[in-house]
Amino acid sequence: MKEKATQINLPLNRAEGDLEVLLEVKDGRLEDAWSSGTMFRGFEDMMKGRGALDGLVVTPRICGICSLTHLTAAVEALDKLSGVRPPDNAYRLRNIALMVETVQSDVRHSILMFMVDMVNEMAYQHFNMFAEAKFRYSPMQGAMANEVIRETKRLLKIIAIIGGQWPHTSFMVPGGVTSIPDQTKILQCTMIIKKFISWYEKNILGCSLARWGEVANNDDLDNWLEESIEHRESEVGFMLRFLRMAGLDLIGSGPNRYLCFGNFPLPDKTDVTGINGKLLAAGYAEGTAVDEFSDDLISEDVSHSWYEQQDEPLHPFEGGTVPSAVSNENGRYSWVKAPRYDGKVVETGPLAEMIVNRNPLFVDLVERQGSSVLSRQLARLVRPALLLPNLMKWLEEVAQDPEAPFYEKVGAIPDGQSAGLVQAARGALGHWIKVVDERITHYQVITPTAWNGSPRDRQKNRGAWEEALIGTEIKNEENPIEAGHIVRSFDPCLVCAVHTVKK
């Protein structure tokens, strides 16, 4: 006899107090899921009527963890609107700062927020790797947990140097950057990054960046894992072994459509190579088939969100953010909107970056068995291996040409509309702005978590992580750890705008 479906709330409060995921379990499997953002932020309406440049100061306060990414999106929109191309050194410094924020976030999330779930006693105490997991990841006590905080803390000095201050720098302005670090400061940044790369190679990869770069498919990955004790005991090696043992390479497949806005514009003169003027190309992929990206195909559906309803999904240049939380009628259940690309549900984040940019390892993993918790989290933990060498090159290039300009003069911001589209650590981030008489008349922000954690759309299509949950076996309804792993592999981020001390 089939069991009656039961509903459980996924206990995500440890990390995300303003995210609720309601799960429906039947016959031991997840039959349905509803993801709800429970906090209204309303930054978009706050921007209306402000000065054209105010996004540079206000939007970094949307998020404490990716504040530089918001700054980058805001300034890119204003660059385009002004018709200015910042000098090469400005692009280098902006890219370096954004890379530092991304690398810091990737390592912290992987160890402090994702691997910490491997010390869940009820689920994993019978694993022979459990004692080692506790040693590495236990909150406050874990050796690697504390080491990650210590090492990533040092990276902040780079942002302080490049940004001219910390916290809350607004050093990016239309036309370039406001701070010009001297040779000594650039050398200091170089030393910090070199030290971090050594630590990352030894502890996270267990090998050199170059050796990791040779891992081009699943067979290579297996061979790499068997090659040495350093590989197996590294964070990447431990994660691979633990997640495979837990079956996390087999669950959490998302919509199998991937979106990347592209990132890190290339200076005119640089040794860093990329695609279409960026280190990371923009693109949309169905499976591993990559297509060109078009901003025009983005729309926001609010049919299941607590906002004033629209006749149809609207492009962010047209859509509003007017709250309307009068009831849950017609199935509304979230403050998060449902962004769609060409009307489709997509996943964004490090794995999407890898697929869109044809990284051979991740293309192979996804072609073999689709996306999974493991492929999503592995992409995040090894992304710094791709970014750090380019960060070093840009530091060297700034040091070689310190007298070159860092700023191109920009006059008044003209009337018009523009978009700043970048990649945050968690995925595609967009700011859409309209300006009239040097005042903002319209501002829309779509965050990565809106893409990944959206509610249903008017066709009743679930959001990306809602979809990734469906069909997952839940071994213990008292401890639905499998669902937690799936949602966390997307690195949900909803609450970092508020940090009140509570008794």
Which positions lie near another protein, rule CB under 8 A? Answer: 14-18, 41, 43, 46, 58, 61, 63-65, 67, 108, 112-113, 116, 139-140, 145-146, 149-150, 153, 156-157, 166-168, 492-503
Q: Would you say 50 or 241 has its CB closer to another protein?
A: 50
Q: Which residues make beta-bridge pairs with 337?
A: none
Task: Give the 3-state secondary structure of residue 286.
Answer: strand
Amino acid of residue 59: T
| Least distance to another protein, CB of residue 1, Å | 40
- The answer to whether residues 276 and 419 touch, using CB atoms and an 8 Å cutoff, is no
| Least distance to another protein, CB of residue 368, Å | 32
Q: Would you say 203 or 390 has its CB closer to another protein?
A: 203
Residues 6+ apart with CB under 8 A from 7: 22, 23, 24, 25
Q: Would you say 14 or 29 has its CB closer to another protein?
A: 14
Residues 6+ apart with CB under 8 A from 252: 371, 372, 373, 376, 468, 469, 472, 485, 486, 489
Q: Would you say 122 or 216 has its CB closer to another protein?
A: 122
Joined tokens for residue 438: 């040097």
Q: Would you say 156 or 297 has its CB closer to another protein?
A: 156
| Least distance to another protein, CB of residue 269, Å | 33
Q: Would you say 47 or 365 has its CB closer to another protein?
A: 47
| Least distance to another protein, CB of residue 212, Å | 26
- The answer to whether residues 193 and 391 touch, using CB atoms and an 8 Å cutoff, is yes
Q: What are phi and psi of 123, to 5 degrees?
A: -90, -35
| Least distance to another protein, CB of residue 193, Å | 17
- The answer to whether residues 19 and 317 touch, using CB atoms and an 8 Å cutoff, is no
Q: Would you say 10 or 281 has its CB closer to another protein?
A: 10
Residue 53 CB coordination number (10 Å): 19
Residue 248 to residues 19, 257, 462, Cα–Cα distance (Å):
22, 20, 21
Residue found by looking up tokens 């000095």 in the block: 157
- As to burial, measured by CB atoms within 10 angstroms (0-12 exposed, 13-18 middle, 19+ buried), residue 248 is buried
